Amino acid sequence: MNDEDRPTTETVPDDDGSNERGDDESGERDGEETVGPGADDGGARGADGDALVVDGVARSFGDVSVLSDVSFAAERGTVACLVGPNGSGKTTLLRVVAGLLAPDAGSVSLPDSGDRTVGYLAQTPAFRPQFTLAETLRFYGDLAGVDVDPGAVLARVGLEAVADRRVGALSGGMTRLFGIAQATIGDPPVLVLDEPSSGLDPTMTEHVGSVVRDLADEGRTVLLATHELGTVDRVGDTVLVLDDGAIQVAAAPDALRRETGSETLTHAVNQYIHGEGGDLTVRAGTWEGDDE
Ligand SMILES: Nc1ncnc2c1ncn2[C@@H]1O[C@H](COP(=O)(O)OP(=O)(O)OP(=O)(O)O)[C@@H](O)[C@H]1O
C-alpha cells in the first residue's frame, strides 16, 4: 500500500488548524459529588471515581463565543449524554475534550493511562472505501502506535463477521458502528462520540445504543452528543444540557423528569433551554427521537 492509498485520519478533522490538546491536565478536584442539577456551580465537581473532569472551559471562534464556562464531571463506567439545540456547541465541546481543539480557558482532566486516553468518533466519519475493515483498523493502530487485533475490536460492535469487507460496502449503520470500533483502538478509558446514531433506523439506533451501553459497562467512560432523547433515556446515566455556552443542568434522566415535574424527557430538557427571547417552549420542536 503506498502512502496515497492509505486510509486517512479523516475521522478527526482539524478545521481551524489547532490540533493540540491545550489543556493543562490539572483540572482541580475538590472532592465534592460528581454531577447534579444546577447551572451555577462555579466549577467542575470531580470526585475520586471521576474519569473525566471538565472545568471552566471556554472557546470562541473569532469574536463569536461558543462555550463560555463549561464544567462537568463523568464517572468511570457511565454514559454522559450531551444535548442542546443545533449550534449550542456540542461538537466544539467534544473536540475540546478529545484534545482536537484547544480551549481558550479552562481544563480537561482525563485518566492517566496508556498512550491513547480518548477515542473519538466524528459527527461524519469518513473512511477510505477501498480498504477492508481489518486493513483500516490496522492502519489506525499504526497511527496510534498500538497493536490491533481487528477481530477483537470489531467484536465490540458486532462487526467481526465482516472484517474482510470493504468499508465502502458497509451500510450507513454499519459504518457508524465501524466508527465506534475505530474509536476503541488502543482501548482508551474515555470515548467521545459525536451523534453516533443520528440518521439511523430505529433498530440500528437501538443497537448502537446497546453497543454504547456495553462499552461503558466494561468500565469505559462515554461522552456522547445526541439529539435523540429516546436514546438518552435508554442508555444515559447523566444528561448534560448545553445552552448559552454552559451546562445548564447535569442529572440522571429520571431525576430531570422528577425535578421538572415532566412526564417526558423532552419536556424536562426543554425547561433548561432558554431559546431566543427566553421562551422555554420555542425549541420544543427541534428534538428528534421524541419520547412523547
Ligand atoms: N471551526 C469553526 N470556525 C468558526 N465557527 C465554528 C467552527 N466550529 C464551530 N463553529 C460555530 O460554533 C457554533 C457551535 O457549533 P457546533 O458544531 O459545536 O454546535 P453543535 O451543538 O454541535 O451543533 P449541531 O447540533 O447542529 O451539530 C456554531 O455557530 C458554529 O458555526
Pocket test for ligand 1, best of 14, 82, 90, 197 (most atoms within 8 A of CB): 90
Count CB neighbours of 52 within 10 A: 27
Looking at this predicted complex, what is its ipTM?
0.97
**Grid-cell match 431566543, residue found:** 276
SS3 for 76?
coil
Query: Considering only CA atoms, which residue is closest to atom 6 of ligand 1?
Result: 61
What are the CA-CA distances from residue 250 to residues 126, 158, 231 (Å)? Answer: 32, 31, 17
- DSSP string of 111-127, one letter each residue: ---SS--EEEE-SS---
Which pLDDT value is given to residue 48?
62
Confidence grade of residue 219 (pLDDT, cut at 50, 70, 90): very high
Which pLDDT value is given to residue 111?
81
Closest to 13 measured CA to CA, from 135, 166, 179, 171: 179
What is the spatial distance between Cα 253 and Cα 239, in angstroms, rounded to a whole number?
Answer: 6
121 DSSP β-pair partners: 193
- Architecture of the domain defined by 49-111+189-274: 3-Layer(aba) Sandwich (3.40)
32 C-alpha to ligand 1 centroid (Å): 32
Pocket test for ligand 1, best of 57, 63, 65, 91 (most atoms within 8 A of CB): 91
Q: 98-132, pLDDT tens digit by residue?
A: 999 999 999 999 887 666 789 999 988 889 999 99
Query: Considering only CA atoms, which residue is closest to atom 7 of ligand 1?
Result: 61
